Each structure stands twice: as C-alpha cells, then as structure tokens.
Structure 1
Amino acid sequence: MADTAQTDAPEQGEAEVIQFDDASRDSLHILPMAMLPLETPGLRRAKLIKNARLETVVEIFQDRSTGSGQISPDHLGSLFPSHSKTLRVDMVQISKLVRINSFDVYTLRKELRRVGIAVNDAKALQLSDAKRAELTGYMKDFTRPLLQQVYGSDERQITDVADILAMLANPDREEALANLRLLSEKLKVKLNEIPDFLEDYGDVFLSLAYFRSCLDGIVPEVQRFLKWAMEPKASELIARDRNIVKMLSDVQSKLTSITTSITGRFEAFDRRSKDFWNDISAESFRSVRHQIESHHVTIGGVLCGLAVKMALWKARFPQGGAGPNKRVEFIRSEILPGLDHILAIENAASGMK
C-alpha cells in the first residue's frame, strides 16, 4: 500500500478532509502537510520530508513502483501556477518549517509553537495508537517505580500506555488509594489533581520511550554501516589515497562520537528519573520534565539525521556488498553531506543541563 495521503470527497460547502497514515505521523523525517492550515489544495496532499542530505523537500507523491516525487519548496510556484496567491500565503509557513531539524511529534510541538504555526487537529501531534502500544515495553521501565509506589508491585497486565494511566487514575484497592493520597502529599498536589500529574508523567516518559526506541533501532544500523564503510581501507588502491582514507576515518569518528554522546544523554535521563523516585516532589518532577523536554528538539534532530542516512544506505545496498570505489562514492556523496550538521547539534546539546 502506497504511503500517500488519502482524500475524502468533500460535501458541497465543506472543506476537503485529508487523512494521513500513522507511519508518517510516527516518523522522525515526515511532516504530513494535511495537518497544517494551508490554502493551496494540492499542498494538503503532500508531505515535507528530510532527504539524505538533510534538506527539507516537498514530496508530492510516493509509490513503490514510481518512487518518490520530490521538489524544492522554492520551486512550488511552477507546480501550482493557478494558485499563486494562496501559495504566497502558504510559503510564509513553509519557509519556517524547512529550518526544523526533525518532524517527530515532540519536536513539532515545540517548534510549531515557537514559529507561531497552528495545526488543524491536536491529535496530529500525538503518536498513533499502534506506536503507543509498540512502546509499552519501554514505558514499563518508567512506570515500574510509579506502580510500586501505588500498588506495592508492578505485576499487572499492561498492553498499552493508556492501561497504565487508567489503572493509576482509578485504583482498584483501598491500599492503592491510600498510597495515591500519600503520593499527592509528597507532590504537594490535591488528590483530584493526581490524574493530571499522571497524564503529564505519562506523556513525558512516552516521549523518552519513543526517542529511545528510535535510538535502539538506529545505533545497530550505524555500527553495521561503519563496518561496511571501513572495509574499503583494506583495498590496496584505496589505502594509497590518503584523502580517501582520511575521509573514511572522519566519517567513522563523527558517527561514533554522535552515537556515543546521544547514548550518554539517555543514560543521564535514566539517572534523573530514578532520582525523582528517591525524592518525590512537584519540584523534582518539574526538573525531570524540564530536562527531558528541553532535549526533545536536539534529540529529534540527531536521530532524524541518522535515520534518513541509514535508511538510504539500506535502500541502496540492501544486501551489503559493492566494490570499494562504489562504497567510497556513496559515503562521499550521501553520508558526508550534513554529517557535520548532525554533529554540531549533538555537540551543542551534550552540554545542556
């Protein structure tokens, strides 16, 4: 099934309703333009995506047989000549969006608010139900201490993040209710405000689970890529070219530095979240939330950059292999461009408190 926006025919006098698939909404590098208040009809069916060079382009269509039809935002005028007036209005928004480093929902929440762009439906900035269910295993790491605080154990049947929050909001034992009262005292919030705290807690750690899931998928791919990318050094012809050897070493050094640094950031989040349960208070939770949310944009930018590059590598070389020269050319033309940008994002963020 093609990963394209689906259009419902509008009733007379009603605006066209365009739905977008969950895979796009859960992605790091895709922004379905249907979520935006655009006036150019054709644009509402398109997507903003990050290409392997980390440039933002407009994807007009995407199909397994025909591939991806992409155009620079600056060239949209030639595609919609009969909508020049509405396109001029829409380009004000689009010009702001091209500078966003990642299109994951957590980055978009912050960045769209920062540049003053609203969305048609707030649900567009939430992970899909399928993705939430997929992240349940990750969420258990963060909800286990909460369940132990309220129920004394975490041996409960959980299939979705919503199950955890519902269980905590509606305790089924008198002892659990008493523990919730104790929790409300420690947090210095009223008992009837505990559901709001649980929702905030769940959303903060759902974001961390989402990014960690992305990281866990990307790091092994980077390691596989580096093994593949460094093999040309064994070629006698490549080994004699100091410039190529230096380029390969630089790519290895930069990718290793990026993945090591961002992994370290996640370890810091784990420590802070554990510290919160050792010293439960509204202030300590605000501190944890601030630390995690302040990193959303940079984590999204780094993971998005790595993800699109690894995806292109797997698409071009699904079986691995290829001769040394072909590998070197791919690394030079597709991996190297934008790599310094990813490293700069990570280096700037690694010192954040």
Structure 2
Amino acid sequence: MDGGASDTAVDTKTAAETEQRKAWDDEARDSLHILPLSSIPLETPGLQHARLIKNVRLQTVVEMFRDAQTGSGQVSPRHIPAYFESYKDEVERDLVKLEKIGAASSFDVYSSRIELRRLNIDVNNVESLTLSDRKKAELTSYMRVFTRPLMEYVYGTEELQVADVTDIIQLFANPNRDEALRNLRMMADRLDIGLTDIPKFLEEYGDIFLSLAYFRKCLDEIVPEVQRFVGWMGEIRSSAEVKRDSRQMRMLDEIARDLTDIATSITGRFESFDNRSKDFWSDINADTFRSIRELISSHHVTIGGVLCGLAVKMNLWKHRFARGGGGPNRRMEFVKSEILPGLSHIKALEQSARTGHL
C-alpha cells in the first residue's frame, strides 16, 4: 500500500514537472523577449537549459534559472565563463554565437530564425523556433483575415469551417467540388506552379501570414497599454514638484510624444500590410506573392524589435504598479530609470522602418 502511494506521488510530481516544463518552453516560443538556448547548437553542457532574454533596458542577459521562490537568475553573457570553468574552450566558442545572437532587437521566433540563418545555423524543423499550438489557436481569428479571401477565391464562399492553414491544406489537397478544382488550376497557372505544388504554396502563405497575425495580436495587446501608460505618466505633470522643474516637464513631453509616435507608426505599417495582401488577391501571380512575402519578411526584425521593446517596458510597469497609483516621485523615478533607457533604440528602429517602402 505504502509503495503504491509513493509511486503515485512520484508519478504526480513527474507529471506536474513535465507540465511546468512544457509551459516554460511554450512561454519562450511565444514570447518577443525570450530565446531558449536549446534552439542553438552549443558545446557547453548546462547552457542548453538557459535562455537569452531582453531586460527592461533592452540589454541581452542569460537567464540561468527562474522560479517563483528565487526569482530570475540573470547573468551578463561576458560573465558566463565564471559559471563553467571546466569548459573554458567550449564557453569561448559558444560566447561568439551568444554575442552575435544577443545583438538582435527581439527574440520572437521569426526574428530569431533570420538571425540564426545569418550564423549558418539550420533552423528547419527546430520546434522551439515555431509558435506553440496554444498560440496558433489564439491566432485563429486573426488568420481569418488571410484565409477568408483564399476560401472565397477557390470555393466562392467563406462559410467553410477552418481553424488554421493546416485545415486549408487538407481541404485543397482533396477539393470536393469541380469548380474548386478549376479555380485551383487557375491559381496554379497564375502562380506559375504545378497543381501538386499548391499545398507547398499554402504552407508558405500560411507561415508568412501567421507571422503577421502573431505580430498583430502583440500590437493589439501592447498599444492600449502604451496609451494607458502615457495617461498615467501625464498625471504627475500637475504635481508641484514636477511643475517646478522644466527639464522634467520636457522629458515627460518627449517620452509621451515618442511613445505615441512609435505606436502610431507601427500601427500604420500593419494597415499597409493589409492593403498589400488585398492587392495580392485582386491580382494573383508569382510576382505579387513574392513581393508581399519579401515585404513582410523584411519587416520582421524591426517589427519584432519595436514590439519587444515596448512589451518588456509595459510588462514591468504593470508588474511594478499593478494597482496603478504611485506618488509623483516614485512615478518619475520609474520613468527615468526604466522607461527612458533604451527608448531611443526603439524609436530608431521604427524610424529605420519608415524609410522603407510599403
């Protein structure tokens, strides 16, 4: 009896640990600011269990551990050798990779794929560089914007129930209407591909627009927080301490203006993407698809960087001031120490994207 109870307790603990590990892994896959080092071929034992993260100042640090009791154990990459003295040569080689990857502005899966390919690291079939199933399910409503015109083009209706692009690939692999088959042949001709290559095209179409849906959802969550923060920050302008200091007033004005400009600009970029995707369906051909694919891919790094920067700052603000409030001095200190550092980097990223042509 005792042995059985003990085994059950162990099984329960193991299941709980497995579930916790999965949640930990999924958080990293779906995050803008976390890159699990298991995604990268490293030589140092133990580093594979760590993660690169962006802190609130947008600096890259190695998170060696994290739990509810002890918090997050963060180390600057240059201090890593002290933790692995028995693997001096391996750490030295690994640090070259970490420093190059750490220079990225975001660790979302799409930006990370780009950065890792630049290091000639194979990212195909690396599960940690894809969104989790839970996140993909969350994005279903966002994906309908891109699956709807596809369904209308081939089936003449948007009423067929599809959860994601995988369902569409299955649907189009075995079209159940003569008209749909004719439309698929027409699409294949316009895209200059064989009918049997349509599923491959749909996978590529799905991935590029899944990335847009992912970033759009991040944007929709972050922009309202930015607006709330600007209002919260503006409340201290009426305090006597702040009013007496023209430099502080000017700083508050500049931060509010920068945050508003960044949010407005990146929102405008998404509107441009939407318009370009509509153009594709009004004139389907290989060139228009290649053009929109390259356009969206070329913006992954700047979109990821801007959203990552805003997200880590807004997350800390919500954590630090969970109930709002905070006196003028406390708010001003937070703005100066946590919001201002790195804000110029976010602004520069967004301005660099504006020089591109949408």
One-letter amino acid of the structure 2 residue matched with residue 129 of structure 1: D
- Deviations along 1:307-340, whole A, 9 cap, x unmatched? 1001111111111100011000000000000000
The reply on whether 1:89 has 2:93 as its aligned counterpart is: yes
CA RMSD of aligned residues (A): 1.8
Structure 2 spans left out of the alignment, 5+ residues:
1-16
Aligned residue number for residue 165 of structure 2:
161
Paired position in structure 1 for 2:5: none
Partner of 1:138: 142
Identity of aligned residues (%): 58
SS of residue in 1 equivalent to 2:167:
helix
**Count of aligned positions:** 339
Are residues 1:277 and 2:281 paired? yes
Distance in 1, matches of 2:135 and 2:162, equals 15
Change in 2 beyond 3 A, CA 1:120/1:270: closer
Letter of the structure 1 residue corresponding to residue 131 of structure 2 = L
Return the match for 1:216 from 201, 206, 220: 220
Q: Output the amino acid matched with 2:239.
A: S
2:328 and 2:168 mapped to 1: Cα distance?
A: 51
Describe the SS at the equivalent of 2:56.
Answer: coil
What CA distance in whole angstroms lies between the structure 2 residues aligned with 1:61 and 1:217?
Answer: 27
Aligned to 2:42: 38
Is the contact between residue 149 and residue 179 of structure 1 (CA under 8 Å) also seen in structure 2? yes
Matched letter for residue 146 of structure 1:
L
2:305 maps to amino acid = G
Q: Distance in 2 between matches of 1:291 and 1:120?
A: 21
Distance 1:112 1:138 in 2: 27
Please give the per-residue CA displacement for 1:120-170, whole angstroms capped at 9, x wherever unaligned.
Answer: 952222111111111111000011111000110110222333223322333
Which of 200, 212, 216 pairs up with 1:196? Answer: 200
Q: Distance in 1 between matches of 2:355 and 2:171?
A: 38
8 Å Cα contact 2:165-2:202 kept in structure 1: no
Q: Which residue of 2 aligns with 1:328?
A: 332
Residues 220 and 50 of structure 1, relative CA distance in 2, 3 Å threshold: same
Query: Post-superposition shift, 1:20?
Result: 6.0
Question: For residue 282 of structure 2, what is the amino acid of its counterpart?
Answer: N
Q: Map of 1:14-29 to 2, 5 A cutoff?
A: 21-29=25-33
CA distance in 1, matches of 2:114, 2:206: 18
CA shift, 1:94, in A, is: 0.8
Residue 41 of structure 1, CA deviation: 1.1
SS at structure 2 position matched to 1:295: helix
Q: How far apart, in 2, do the equivalents of 1:207 and 1:169 lie? A: 23
Distance 1:35 1:264 in 2: 33
For 2:149 and 2:119, locate their aligned partners in 1 and report how far apart those are by CA, in whole Å: 37
Counterpart check, 1:111 vs 2:115 = yes
* Counterpart Cα distance in 1 of 2:23 and 2:263: 35
SS in 2 for 1:41: coil
Distance 1:116 1:96 in 2: 12
CA contact (8 A) 1:222 1:310 kept: yes
Structure 2 CA distance for partners of 1:331 and 1:314, relative to 1, 3 Å: same
Which residue number in structure 2 is paired with residue 13 of structure 1? none
Aligned to 2:177: 173
Residues 120 and 87 from structure 1, CA distance in 2 versus in 1: closer, same or farther, beyond 3 angstroms?
farther
Runs of 4+ in 1 over 4 A off after TM superposition: none
How far 1:19 sits from its partner (Å)?
10
Rounded to whole Å, the distance in 1 between the matches of 2:342 and 2:145 is 34
| Paired residue type of 2:233 | A
Runs of 5+ unmatched residues, structure 1: 1-5, 8-17
Q: Does 1:78 align with 2:82?
A: yes
Q: What TM-score results when the alignment is normalised by the length of structure 2?
A: 0.91
Corresponding position: 1:250 with 2:235:
no
CA distance in 2 between partners of 1:211 and 1:134 (Å):
12
